[in-house]
Amino acid sequence: MTTATLVFVTLNDSFDDLRPQLEDYSIVTISEAGSYMNTLIKTRAAMVLIDGAHPDWKRFTTSPTTSPATRRIPIVVVADGDDQRAQASVIGADLTFTLHDIQKQIGKLVNDYGRIPDPERMEQLDCECDDPLPELAIEGVKKFNAGEYYPQHDLFEEQWVKTEGPVRDLYRAVLQVGVAYYQIERGNYRGALKMLQRSVQWLAMLPDVCQTIDIKQLREDSYKVRAELERLGADRLDEFDRSLLKPVRRVDD
């Protein structure tokens, strides 16, 4: 079973008393904004708890709403002041609590609101990943690997629409990586970065191999592309090394 990750944003030990109630979860504590968004994306965080005493708490509260990859993550601001909690709700916090109140109900809070993987759905996904890759998706991979990133979109989208089970996330993931590469070739920095960030939420939930597609490799390749885009920034996109745009690998190739 996949272990859900909770992200604590704090400069001190104010959330330490919550940990005994969260032994079934992986907890990542951060204090600096620079690593924040990547942490949320890479861990596919189930929930974020923000210490209202952090001087940059507003930025931590609003930043996840700017990306499709993070905007569905529940944001909880913990603050004792009524005014601060009210302000937190206005600027984007999904929930606000005093420290005393959250200590009493953190377990139920995460269970009720956390973006936690469904074990039954994950089991079904594993089973569906053992099936052969459908013909439409095979053609989509061929287009992707030929650098025909826009046509691959249409093929994978058609397969995604006709698929009802959780394995449809496979087709959506590959599609979005391909669209990101297409945007890079068009010089659309923001579009490329947005699609790569969005693809993470699907790639992170897939097993390392799904219907013969090497998801582990695709995940690593696309993350390297995203990291390079972030390093260069929009003004230096023309310096991007196109050799980083790797093909989709199939384990039976």
Domain that holds residue 132: 120-244
Cα separation, 157 vs 151, whole angstroms = 10
CATH number at residue 145: 1.10.3450.10
Domain-located, residue 253: no
What is the arithmetic mean of pLDDT over 75-104?
Answer: 90
* 237 and 130, same domain (yes or no): yes
* 35 and 71, same domain (yes or no): yes
Cα separation, 245 vs 183, whole angstroms = 12
Domains held by the chain: number: 2
What is the arithmetic mean of pLDDT over 156-181?
Answer: 97
What is the arithmetic mean of pLDDT over 185-204?
Answer: 89
* 164 and 214, same domain (yes or no): yes
Q: Which of 117, 145, 171 is the last residue of a domain?
A: 117
Q: Which of 117, 136, 158 is the last residue of a domain?
A: 117
pLDDT at 111: 84
Domain-located, residue 75: yes
* 237 and 125, same domain (yes or no): yes
pLDDT at 230: 82
Domain-located, residue 252: no
Cα separation, 166 vs 125, whole angstroms = 5
Cα separation, 74 vs 48, whole angstroms = 6
* 171 and 238, same domain (yes or no): yes
Q: What is the DSSP annotation of 43-85?
A: HT-SEEEEETTSTTHHHHHHGGGG-TTTTTS-EEEE-S-HHHH
* 146 and 225, same domain (yes or no): yes
Task: Dump pLDDT digits (tens) for 201-242.
Answer: 788 778 889 999 999 999 889 988 988 888 888 999 999 999
Cα separation, 229 vs 223, whole angstroms = 10
Domain-located, residue 16: yes
Domain-located, residue 250: no
Q: Which residue has the higher pLDDT, 52 or 121?
A: 52
Cα separation, 32 vs 29, whole angstroms = 10
Task: Dump pLDDT digits (tens) for 5-38.
Answer: 999 999 988 999 999 999 989 999 999 998 899 9
* 131 and 239, same domain (yes or no): yes
Who contacts 134 (Cβ-Cβ below 8 Å, separation ≥6)? Answer: 159, 211
Domain-located, residue 205: yes
* Mean pLDDT (the chain, rounded): 91
pLDDT at 2: 54
* 67 and 97, same domain (yes or no): yes
* 137 and 52, same domain (yes or no): no
* 206 and 232, same domain (yes or no): yes
* 92 and 143, same domain (yes or no): no
Domain-located, residue 149: yes
Cα separation, 113 vs 94, whole angstroms = 10
Task: Dump pLDDT digits (tens) for 115-138.
Answer: 776 778 889 999 999 999 999 999
CATH number at residue 105: 3.40.50.2300
pLDDT at 238: 95
pLDDT at 1: 43
Whether the CB-CB separation of 239 and 209 falls below 8 Å is answered with: no
171: pLDDT confidence band, cut at 50, 70 and 90? very high
Domain-located, residue 77: yes
Tokens of 91: 């600027």
Residue matched to tokens 């929009």: 234
Pairing of strands 75-78, 95-97: parallel
Q: Which of 78, 101, 117 is the last residue of a domain?
A: 117
Using CA of residue 3, residue 14, residue 71, residue 175, what is the dihedral sign?
A: negative
Check whether 253 has a pLDDT greater than 60.
no
* 195 and 124, same domain (yes or no): yes
pLDDT at 79: 94
Check whether 167 has a pLDDT greater than 90.
yes
Whether the CB-CB separation of 179 and 149 falls below 8 Å is answered with: yes
